[in-house]
C-alpha cells in the first residue's frame, strides 16, 4: 500500500469527516487500480486510468461500480496535484461511464404498517429495539449509518425533534411522529434492563459490537427476518427502502421538495428530485386507470 494513499485517506477522514465505510471503499478501489497498473503515482497517465476502466467493464463490473471507482481515483489524483506531488492530474479529463438512474424502490403504506404490526406483537428487548429503529427510520428518513449510531440524548421529547449527525458530520434537525417517540420511550425500559446498570452513550447499544452500538448488518438481518414474518418478500425490504418510503410517502402527501431535501440531509436538491419521478409515475398510472377517456374503447 502506497504511503501517499494512506496520507490521502487520513486527509479525507480529518478534513471531510469521511466514514470508515467510505475509507475502506477508497482504499480497496485505489489498491485495485495500482495492482492493475503496477506503476507509481508520478508515472500514471490518462491512458492508464482509461485502460483500467475498460478492464473493469470487460470483467462485468456495472457502470455504477466503475463510476464509483473512478470517483476515488479522481479524488486521489486531485489531492496529489494540489499537494504538488505530481505535475499534471491524469484523471482530470477521464469521463465517467453513463449510468441509468433507477427509480428508488419503496414500500406501500400498507406494507409499512404490516411490518409495524408484526414487530409490535413482540415483547422482548430485540422486538422493542427493532420497533423503535423501524419507526425512527421511517418517521425521519434516516440513513442506516445514522440510525445505528444515534447518541442516547439525540431526541428532544418536548419539541418532538431529533438531532442527526449525517455525512461529513453535518447536523440536521428532523421532526418525529408521535408513534415513533412512543416506541422509543417503550424501548428505553428494555434498554435499561439490557444494560444492567452499565453506561452507554448509544441509543441502540450492543454488548457484542466493537463500536458499542448495533451494527448495520445486524439491523439489516433483523429487518429481513421481520419481513418474512410479516408476509412481505425480504427482497423488497432493506434499510434504504425504508428511507425511500419516507420520502415518497411525504411527496405523495404534497410535502414540498425543499422540506424533504432538508429532512433527508441531501446537499443537492437534484438528489431529492428522483422521488418526484415516482410521484409522477403514480399520477400517470392513476390517470390511465381512472380517467373516462382511458376507459373508452
Q: How far is CA 220 from CA 16, 42, 105, 224, in A?
A: 27, 42, 16, 6
Domain-wise residue ranges, the chain: 3-82, 109-236
DSSP 8-state symbol, 103: P
Q: What is the CATH number of domain 109-236?
A: 1.10.443.10
| Cα gap 284→278, rounded to integer Å | 10
Q: What is the CATH number of domain 3-82?
A: 1.10.150.130
Catalytic residues: 143, 167, 240, 243, 266, 275
**Rounded mean pLDDT of 261-278?**
79
Which cell numbers in the block locate residue 97?
A: 461511464
| Cα gap 267→53, rounded to integer Å | 28
To the question of pTM greater than 0.85 for the whole model, the response is no
Residue range 209-231, pLDDT digits in tens: 999 999 999 999 999 999 999 99
Residue range 40-73, pLDDT digits in tens: 888 999 999 999 999 998 998 888 899 999 999 9
| Cα gap 17→9, rounded to integer Å | 11
Amino acid at each position: 500500500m502506497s504511503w501517499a494513499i494512506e496520507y490521502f485517506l487520513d486527509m479525507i477522514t480529518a478534513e471531510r469527516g469521511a466514514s470508515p465505510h467510505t475509507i475502506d471503499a477508497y482504499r480497496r478501489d485505489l489498491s485495485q487500480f495500482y495492482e492493475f497498473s503496477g506503476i507509481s503515482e508520478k508515472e500514471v497517465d490518462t491512458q492508464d486510468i482509461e485502460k483500467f476502466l475498460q478492464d473493469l467493464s470487460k470483467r462485468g463490473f456495472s457502470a455504477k461500480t466503475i463510476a464509483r471507482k473512478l470517483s476515488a481515483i479522481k479524488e486521489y489524483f486531485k489531492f496529489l496535484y494540489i499537494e504538488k506531488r505530481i505535475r499534471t492530474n491524469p484523471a482530470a479529463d477521464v469521463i465517467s461511464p453513463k449510468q441509468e438512474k433507477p427509480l428508488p424502490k419503496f414500500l406501500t403504506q400498507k406494507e409499512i404498517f404490516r411490518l409495524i404490526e408484526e414487530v409490535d406483537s413482540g415483547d422482548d428487548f430485540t422486538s422493542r429495539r427493532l420497533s423503535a429503529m423501524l419507526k425512527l427510520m421511517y418517521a425521519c428518513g434516516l440513513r442506516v449509518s445514522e440510525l445505528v449510531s444515534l447518541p442516547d440524548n439525540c431526541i428532544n421529547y418536548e419539541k418532538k425533534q431529533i438531532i442527526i449527525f449525517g455525512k461529513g458530520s453535518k447536523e440536521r434537525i428532523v421532526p418525529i411522529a408521535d408513534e415513533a417517540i412512543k416506541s422509543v420511550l417503550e424501548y428505553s425500559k428494555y434498554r435499561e434492563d439490557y444494560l444492567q446498570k452499565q453506561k452507554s452513550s448509544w441509543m441502540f447499544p450492543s454488548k457484542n459490537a466493537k463500536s458499542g452500538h448495533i451494527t448495520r448488518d445486524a439491523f439489516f438481518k433483523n429487518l429481513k427476518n421481520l419481513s418474512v414474518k410479516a408476509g412481505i418478500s425480504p427482497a423488497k425490504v432493506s434499510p434504504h427502502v425504508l428511507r425511500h418510503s419516507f420520502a415518497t410517502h411525504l411527496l405523495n402527501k404534497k410535502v414540498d421538495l425543499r422540506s424533504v431535501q432538508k429532512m433527508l440531509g441531501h446537499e443537492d436538491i437534484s438528489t431529492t428530485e428522483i422521488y418526484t419521478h415516482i410521484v409522477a409515475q403514480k399520477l400517470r398510472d392513476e390517470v390511465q386507470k381512472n380517467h373516462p377517456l382511458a376507459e373508452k374503447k
